[in-house]
């Protein structure tokens, strides 16, 4: 099992209280880089670029957003692990993505080598099909899948994320067998649906809005649909099928290395303060509301997010230990 990092005696809230404004404002002195674990155009990318101008305002320096897809999110994660100890390189990834990347691949890092600046957004899962698809409900899809095991294809961004887990949960609950196809990122997986390369996709309520035109939602992989106006008023999958399904969602967050937090607490505090300010910026929130995406905002402070992520790590570690496909996904 994992070895927990040695946590600092004071949390970031205490650090913020101790750092004087003059000391905090001495850094950063130059541009910072936010590395995104997936390709442009997906939910991760939006989570980075939408608050970017407000982060630059709060930091007082440019914040470059760089996409580094690959390795089921390991490429960007490893880059920040190797170069981020001075706090100038920041990682935007997801939960459970960072857990899977550490647990299922030959990488040098563990989750405990990172520490969150903040949780930013939440992406509840759903099932989306093309407008011309023959299924009008999840029951239609499942009935068809039972008659044609392994023939109906589904896209996911990676094997190592919650959407893949979501399809596995549906298969286990219904006795179906879908042909799951992984792609290099969320945008790629959803565009594959539009192009007719797959029959459906399991994606997020908000990150799949880029394919709204030409597609429709069959079901929400959540206990209630809080977003009817942007999900075709679809009902929860568990209610449609009469099965027990856990809520499926991912959380997007920003991280630095644990060494950054431990060796440069004043810089870490500056980043925490900047992300808190940007995520609560009225102009940023108004922009999201105008686009129908305000509901995805789920700011979580570093300590609360870290504690939740440690609990999630143990759940994912147990899952990986019992499922061969996760260990083989690279």
Least confident stretch, 4-18, 74-88, 185-199: 4-18
Nearest to 97 by CA among 71, 62, 79: 71
User: Cα separation of 77 and 216, whole Å?
Assistant: 33
Name the more confident of 323 and 58.
58
Q: Would you list the domain boundaries of the chain?
A: 12-122+251-328, 124-241
- By the 8 A CB rule, do 63 and 36 touch? no
Residue 12 tokens read as 């970031």
* The predicted structure's pLDDT at residue 11: 42
CATH of domain 124-241: 3.40.190.10
Average pLDDT of the residues in 253-281: 98
Confidence of residue 320 (pLDDT cuts 50, 70, 90): confident
User: Cα separation of 271 and 265, whole Å?
Assistant: 10
Residue 1 has pLDDT above 70, yes or no: no
Residue 18 has pLDDT above 70, yes or no: no
Domains 12-122+251-328 and 124-241 share a fold: yes
Residue 185 has pLDDT above 50, yes or no: yes
Nearest to 49 by CA among 69, 61, 29, 63: 63
Residues with Cβ within 8 Å of 227's Cβ and at least 6 positions away in sequence, in order, are 124, 205, 220, 295
Least confident stretch, 74-88, 168-182, 193-207, 310-324: 310-324
* The predicted structure's pLDDT at residue 42: 80
N- to C-terminal Cα separation, the chain: 21
* Digit-coded pLDDT (tens) for 123-164: 999 999 999 999 999 999 999 999 999 999 999 987 888 999
Name the more confident of 216 and 188.
216
Compute the mean pLDDT over every residue in the chain, rounded to the nearest whole number.
Answer: 89
Average pLDDT of the residues in 6-31: 51
Confidence of residue 325 (pLDDT cuts 50, 70, 90): low
Residue 22 has pLDDT above 50, yes or no: no
What percent of the chain shows pLDDT beyond 90?
Answer: 76
CATH of 12-122+251-328, one of 3.40.50.1100, 1.20.1290.10, 1.10.357.10, 3.40.190.150: 3.40.190.150
């Amino acid at each position: 099992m994992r070895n927990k990092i040695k946590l600092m005696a004071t949390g970031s809230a205490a650090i913020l209280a101790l750092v004087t404004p003059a000391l905090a404002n001495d850094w950063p002195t130059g541009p910072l880089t936010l590395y995104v674990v997936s390709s442009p155009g997906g939910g991760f990318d939006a989570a980075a670029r939408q608050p970017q101008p407000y982060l630059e305002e709060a930091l007082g320096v440019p914040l470059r957003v760089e996409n580094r897809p690959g390795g089921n999110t390991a490429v960007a994660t490893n880059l920040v692990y190797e170069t981020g100890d001075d706090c100038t390189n920041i990682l935007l990834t997801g939960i459970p993505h960072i857990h899977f990347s550490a647990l299922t691949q030959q990488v040098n890092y563990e989750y405990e080598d990172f520490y969150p600046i903040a949780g930013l957004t939440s992406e509840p899962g759903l099932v989306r099909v093309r407008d011309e698809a023959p299924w009008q409900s999840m029951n239609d899809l499942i009935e068809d899948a039972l008659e044609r095991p392994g023939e109906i294809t589904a896209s996911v961004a990676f094997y190592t994320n919650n959407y893949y887990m979501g399809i596995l949960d549906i298969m286990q609950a219904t006795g179906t067998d879908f042909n799951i196809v992984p792609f290099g990122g969320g945008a790629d997986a959803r565009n594959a649906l539009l192009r007719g390369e797959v029959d459906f996709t399991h994606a997020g309520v908000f990150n799949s809005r880029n394919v709204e035109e030409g597609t429709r939602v069959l079901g929400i992989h959540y206990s209630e649909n809080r977003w009817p106006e942007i999900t075709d008023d679809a009902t929860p999958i568990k209610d449609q099928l009469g099965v027990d399904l856990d809520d499926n969602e991912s959380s997007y967050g920003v991280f630095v290395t644990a060494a950054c937090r431990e060796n440069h607490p004043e810089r870490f505090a500056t980043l925490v303060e900047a992300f808190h300010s940007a995520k609560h910026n009225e102009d940023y929130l108004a922009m999201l509301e105008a686009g129908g995406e305000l509901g995805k905002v789920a700011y979580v402070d570093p300590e609360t997010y870290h504690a939740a992520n440690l609990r999630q790590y143990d759940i994912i570690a147990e899952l990986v230990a019992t499922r061969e496909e996760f260990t083989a996904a690279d």
